Amino acid sequence: MRAEFRVWHDQGDLYHIMFDQATKQRYRVDSFPIANQLINQMMQAILPLLKAKDLTHLFFHNAYYLEIGENFIIIRLIYV
């Protein structure tokens, strides 16, 4: 299972977003029911960790979640 999201920056806050296919408008994604439980848990955990470590000055662009076994996940954050 894998999932990919854009990371949106808004006045010191970070959150996952996707884009509506019809309207092209962005919308916030706090959970992703289609994905499995581990990906949803990591989605809830990773961005607060980045904010707590004061890494919001880095411009994170994408977050990729790849589950590669039971209870094992790779999270790749792309920043520019």
CB count within 10 Å of CB 59 equals 10
Query: What domains can be seen in the chain, in order of their start residue?
Result: 2-79 (2.40.50.1070)
Scored b (16 or more CB within 10 A) or e, 62-79 reads ebebebeeeeebeeeeee
Least confident range from 3-7, 29-33, 55-59: namely: 55-59
pLDDT over 80 (residue 12): no
pLDDT in tens, 26-52: 999 999 999 999 999 999 999 888 888
